[in-house]
């Protein structure tokens, strides 16, 4: 007997990316027909998908391409976006805003033409940049000030696309707000090797011999660091429920991440203890013009109840796994986004 929903085509926008490529692999293992839509071919990033995966390469800002690429979708995991480190986001504000808004402005009408598939939208923790409640739940977003970070604002606007298209056209959606995903495979998108998200940046700095360790911004900022495999597992579980149009996940939002927040300075100290030399931990704070949140502390209860999900990789284990990949890359061994 055929598994219910396993004949439904899942389209992953941004499927050649850091999270998307991993999700594609897991969905293929489960037997779903998967299509990758991305402006970058996976082979350009060293990724070889199963032969069953269809690749549709093109720019989703082009409404004609978006319409053709999404025409046969039953469920869309919408991960395509322009994202980078704090420095990248500061230096490319106009580009990020234009690209992310243009992608959504093409994707949602195309999905509507395709027969109103469910869109699982990758939001961002930056939506909570102006939160007035800590730790926050999903419903606390209504109490937050609008983000001043351009990337965060573009992703919040994407949430409005979801709700507006549901309100006017009854096109179903799920919003996933990823919180500080890290792990093997994350490459720099900036001008220096350390210009990536905070944990890989700390690891690269320590392994390169930097001393004292430079902390970008406030050392007391908090983050719910979430290992990439845990984020992927949550995403796959949501996709499976969305394919079934399960009422537990339909037309609502989820914060994806750990309920355990860590201070930036404590994360830096742990990286030093695991990977540094015998000198005592020392750090200096380097100021940044980039705009970000000081506190990022979430409650994962809603997600945990909906899909019976809990993080499985500790911060210590995740740092060591990430460091192993970075060392392999520094040694010149073949590595990809998949680690």
Q: Does some domain include residue 19?
A: yes
pLDDT at 85: 74
Q: Does some domain include residue 338?
A: no
Residue 294 scores a pLDDT above 90: no
Q: Does some domain include residue 265?
A: no
Q: Which two tokens stand for residue 246?
A: 């399960």
What is the total count of domains within the chain? 1
Q: Does some domain include residue 149?
A: yes
Q: Does some domain include residue 202?
A: no
Q: Does some domain include residue 315?
A: no
CATH classification of the domain holding 153: 3.40.50.720
Q: Model confidence over 219-231: pLDDT tens digits?
A: 889 999 999 999 9
Range of the domain at 111: 10-179+227-256
Taking each helix axis from N to C end, the angle separating 264-275 and 315-330, rounded to the nearest 10 degrees, works out to: 60
Q: Does some domain include residue 145?
A: yes
Q: Does some domain include residue 206?
A: no
Mean pLDDT (the chain, rounded): 93
Strand ranges (E), 257-299:
262-263, 283-286
Q: Model confidence over 42-85: pLDDT tens digits?
A: 999 999 999 999 999 999 999 999 999 999 999 999 999 998 77
Mean pLDDT, residues 155-164:
98
Look up the pTM and report it: 0.95
């Amino acid at each position: 007997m055929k598994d219910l929903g396993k004949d439904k085509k899942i389209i992953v926008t941004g499927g050649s990316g850091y999270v998307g490529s991993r999700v594609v692999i897991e969905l293929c293992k489960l037997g779903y027909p998967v299509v990758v839509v991305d402006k970058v071919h996976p082979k350009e990033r060293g990724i070889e998908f199963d032969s069953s995966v269809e690749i549709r390469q093109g720019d989703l800002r082009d409404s004609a391409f978006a319409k053709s690429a999404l025409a046969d979708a039953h469920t869309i995991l919408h991960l395509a976006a322009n994202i980078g480190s704090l420095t990248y986001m500061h230096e490319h504000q106009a580009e990020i805003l234009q690209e992310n808004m243009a992608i959504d402005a093409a994707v949602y009408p195309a999905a509507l033409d395709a027969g109103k598939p469910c869109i699982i939208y990758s939001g961002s923790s930056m939506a909570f940049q102006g939160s007035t409640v800590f730790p926050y739940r999903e419903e606390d977003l209504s109490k937050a000030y609008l983000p001043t970070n351009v990337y965060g604002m573009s992703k919040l606007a994407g949430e409005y696309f979801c709700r507006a298209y549901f309100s006017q056209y009854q096109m179903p959606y799920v919003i996933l707000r990823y919180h500080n995903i890290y792990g093997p495979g994350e490459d720099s998108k900036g001008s220096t090797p350390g210009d990536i998200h905070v944990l890989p940046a700390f690891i690269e700095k320590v392994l390169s011999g930097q001393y004292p360790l430079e902390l970008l911004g406030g050392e007391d900022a908090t983050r719910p660091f979430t290992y990439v495999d845990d984020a992927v597992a949550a995403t796959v579980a949501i996709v499976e429920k969305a394919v079934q149009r399960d009422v537990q996940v339909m037309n609502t939002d989820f914060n994806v991440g750990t309920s355990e927040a860590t201070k930036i300075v404590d994360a830096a100290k742990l990286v030093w203890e695991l990977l540094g030399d015998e000198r005592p931990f020392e750090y200096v704070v380097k100021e940044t013009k980039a705009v970000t949140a000081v506190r990022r502390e979430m409650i994962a209860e809603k997600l945990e109840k909906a899909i019976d999900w809990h993080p499985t990789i500790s911060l210590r284990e995740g740092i060591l796994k990430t460091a192993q990949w970075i060392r392999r890359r520094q040694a010149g061994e073949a590595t990809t986004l998949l680690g």
